[in-house]
Structure 1
Amino acid sequence: MNQEEKLKLLSDLIGVPSVNGREREVALILQSFLKSHGITAHLIDYDTDRSNLIASYGDKKTPVLGFSGHMDVVTANEKEWQSFPFALTAVGDHLIGRGTADQKAGVAAQAIALAELADAHAKLNGQVRLLFTVGEEVGEYGAQQLTELGYADDLSGLVISEPSSQDVWYANQGSIDYTVVSTGKTSHSSMPDLGVNALDNLVTFYNALQQALQSHQEESPILGKFHNSVTTFHAGDQVNTIPNHAELQGNARTIPEFDNTAFIALITNAVNRLNESSSMNLGLTINFNKMPVVSGKDSPLVHQTVDIAQEITGKNLQVIGMVGTTDSSEFIKAKTHFPIIVYGPGITQQAHQPNEFVSKRAYFQSIDVYRELAKRFLNKAND
């Protein structure tokens, strides 16, 4: 394929404002593109206007190398952008648009790599499978659905095309979103003893949680420190009324040394202890629960990706862990164990930013990396 065709596919994907939805439009573009190269792609519906995409190429059923990316993007405030965010704009080597880095350039590159393998009638001792997902930004819904349907059970390796600055990530932190609601009793502020101040009780909880976390300073040599951040806090609607409702939300970034199970037990115990008081009525909801992932740093998939990427890019790649989460937290729940890496063309720090961009050069290089990795990984697996 020539560069104009490669840019057109990315442009078409960026043109769909798939902000927490509308992934079906993206999937249909990819399905049509793959069909034009003799590849049948299937859509797996998640919800109205939301569909995952599955496609494969290869001569044998196994082994299977998975290529995965998500088709949703985060919102874009047009006032913060120098160009319209849902149109691909080229400025020098920069391809600007919402989702260029996170993650439509990676998705397009993986689809193009599969198409180029098909165009060349490449002989593979196995198959490459695309697993393009919905809802990664808000809950990894698509990856969860595809895993539950068994599409990851026969994988021998998985490459996720999140923006990795063309480095290789083999581990990522887990993530927990939670909500704590405090229920009290309304009264006039001149007679506070007749009410129960939900805000006061929520502050008591916040302080108890912070104190409990003081004894947990665990740190991963790969993923760094455990972090917990309370990010929203709401109570009351009138200054002279004791509030009967208050709530906070928080996010914890977990590591194997202090994982999701441990943190949920800690915060649950804090709520339960405080609820022993008759004046306390706290409720805890875990909204999002994704485990940390640590794959094999010395796996053949890592070594082959590094070797190929260094040959193509001329860059000395780092093999490191990352602080964010990816769809890997769902795919690791498959029935079989397989190495997972993140390798993508976007710059990590560009994710979710105004005037988000990906390097045109990196975009084209990533296509070559994915194509050559598919051949080397599958052929080596059968040696």
Structure 2
Amino acid sequence: MSPDVLSLTRELVAVDTIDHDENHALAVVAPHLEDAGFDVRTVEHEPGRGTLIAEWHADATAPPLCLSGHVDTVPLGGADWSRDPFRAEPDGDRLYGRGTTDMKGGVAAIVCAAVGVATSTRAPRAGLRLVLTAAEETGSHGARGALDALRGRPSGPLLIAEPTSNAVFHGHKGALWLSARAEGVTAHGSMPHLGDNAVYKLARAVGTFEGFAFTEQAHPAMGAPTLNVGTFHGGLNTNSVPDSAVATVDIRTVPGQDHAAITDDLQARVGDDASVGPLVDLPAVWTDPADDWAAAVSAIAADVTGASQGGEPRAATYFTDASVLTPALGGVPTVVCGPGEPELAHVTDEWVSIAKLRESEEIIRRVATQWCET
């Protein structure tokens, strides 16, 4: 019997996984999967931070459908929450708590749907593979840590249950996070001519990034690539010339862009004032909406939610573990479809619709049943 998706979401939210301790969250779902006949193992990329790989009939005649989500969450932020962020309190149709939308609700829907399929399907044509990751929010480190266990093994398509309000997104932008670092020479603040001010050098450097024009055309679903300078830090005290300064840059790319070429272009702009290098390098992901499996997922989602089929294809501005998993699994068709609301990810008083949790479980169950039985 499948666990209840609302109850499982609440159990997951109760485990604090803000950039740590994901193994405790995985321990919540592992027994449900094991009881349903899944072979479950956890691959750690660092102590206490693992990615769970659960397989059911992975050796069937057709490759397994892959379902994925992450169990880590972002910090609570500086503002006070009106509710305990780890109690997952329902209020009408809303379930409040850190990770309800991004994306413990999606993970709960995956697990409940997978258990339901595994306990009701006999002699499946294809099996299921769940990849539930750690450390997605900071650059998909958990997914990278599990690659040796995934590469070279047959795989069917990939569904990531990140927040889409149960709409089907056919891909997402890539993420290229860069550091720009300037070095100088320190001196007493009353004698600045004896030093070399790293803050001035870095300010000149990042100033060249404002209005940076990408040469690539906008993607029909993702729009244009973007660049944002997110942080700027320099110096240690007021009365010294700073000898070091660093800024971070968040670039969101579209399919076809070369991240190394972008990095080289920005380095050429800043010249000797700063050195530019990658922090996170995750490519964009896109699946043709006309792909048979992707079209079937869209039809199922529309039927469950009552939304109209068709319309313009959609994509996410955020990144997902698909940047790592899709190429590792052989470039399989990939969609993003989960119960959370994209605009509620990372916010104070984050919540998810309870009705959409149940819709998501049904969508994933139908997608998995169709893949395993057809």
For the aligned pair, the TM-score class normalised by the smaller chain equals over 0.9
2:105 counterpart of 1:113:
no
User: How many Å apart are 1:150 and its aligned residue?
Assistant: 2.4
- The gaps in structure 1 that reach 5 residues or longer are none
Corresponding position of 1:290: 282
User: How many Å apart are 1:48 and its aligned residue?
Assistant: 1.3
Corresponding position of 1:24: 23
Partner-residue secondary structure (3-state), 1:185: coil
Greater mean alpha carbon deviation, residues 6-15 or residues 153-162: 6-15
User: How many Å apart are 1:153 and its aligned residue?
Assistant: 4.1
CA–CA separation in structure 2 for the residues paired with 1:152 and 1:7: 36
User: How many Å apart are 1:61 and its aligned residue?
Assistant: 5.2
Write the letter of the residue equivalent to 1:22.
Answer: D
User: How many Å apart are 1:18 and its aligned residue?
Assistant: 0.6
Once the two structures are superposed, the pairs formed by residues 214-363 of structure 1 within 5 Å of their partners are 214=213, 216=215, 218-271=217-270, 274-275=271-272, 280=273, 282-316=274-308, 319-334=313-328, 336-363=330-357
- TM-score normalised over the length of structure 2: 0.92
Once the two structures are superposed, the pairs formed by residues 67-106 of structure 1 within 5 Å of their partners are 67-77=67-77, 80-106=80-106
Contact 1:153 1:334 in 2 (8 A): no
Corresponding position of 2:370: 376
Corresponding position of 1:11: 10
CA–CA separation in structure 1 for the residues paired with 2:164 and 2:123: 29
Contact 2:263 2:276 in 1 (8 A): no
- TM-score normalised over the length of structure 1: 0.90
Greater mean alpha carbon deviation, residues 202-211 or residues 169-178: 202-211
Contact 1:63 1:378 in 2 (8 A): no
Contact 1:153 1:336 in 2 (8 A): no
Corresponding position of 1:194: 194
CA–CA separation in structure 2 for the residues paired with 1:215 and 1:290: 18
CA–CA separation in structure 1 for the residues paired with 2:352 and 2:152: 29
Contact 1:180 1:247 in 2 (8 A): yes
CA–CA separation in structure 1 for the residues paired with 2:217 and 2:365: 40
Contact 2:181 2:246 in 1 (8 A): yes
Partner-residue secondary structure (3-state), 1:149: helix
Write the letter of the residue equivalent to 1:172.
Answer: H
Partner-residue secondary structure (3-state), 1:322: coil
Q: Deviations over 1:304-354 (max 9, x none)?
A: 112112222212256411111110110133262210000101111111111
Contact 1:180 1:249 in 2 (8 A): yes
Write the letter of the residue equivalent to 1:316.
Answer: S
CA–CA separation in structure 2 for the residues paired with 1:41 and 1:86: 26
2:367 counterpart of 1:367:
no
Contact 1:152 1:331 in 2 (8 A): no
Contact 1:185 1:242 in 2 (8 A): yes
Write the letter of the residue equivalent to 2:331.
Answer: H
> Structure 1 residues 149, 269: closer, same or farther in 2, change over 3 A?
farther
Contact 1:259 1:292 in 2 (8 A): no
CA–CA separation in structure 2 for the residues paired with 1:378 and 1:296: 22
Contact 1:31 1:40 in 2 (8 A): no
Q: CA RMSD in A?
A: 2.2
Corresponding position of 2:146: 146
2:116 counterpart of 1:124:
no
Q: Percent identity?
A: 27
CA–CA separation in structure 1 for the residues paired with 2:331 and 2:217: 26
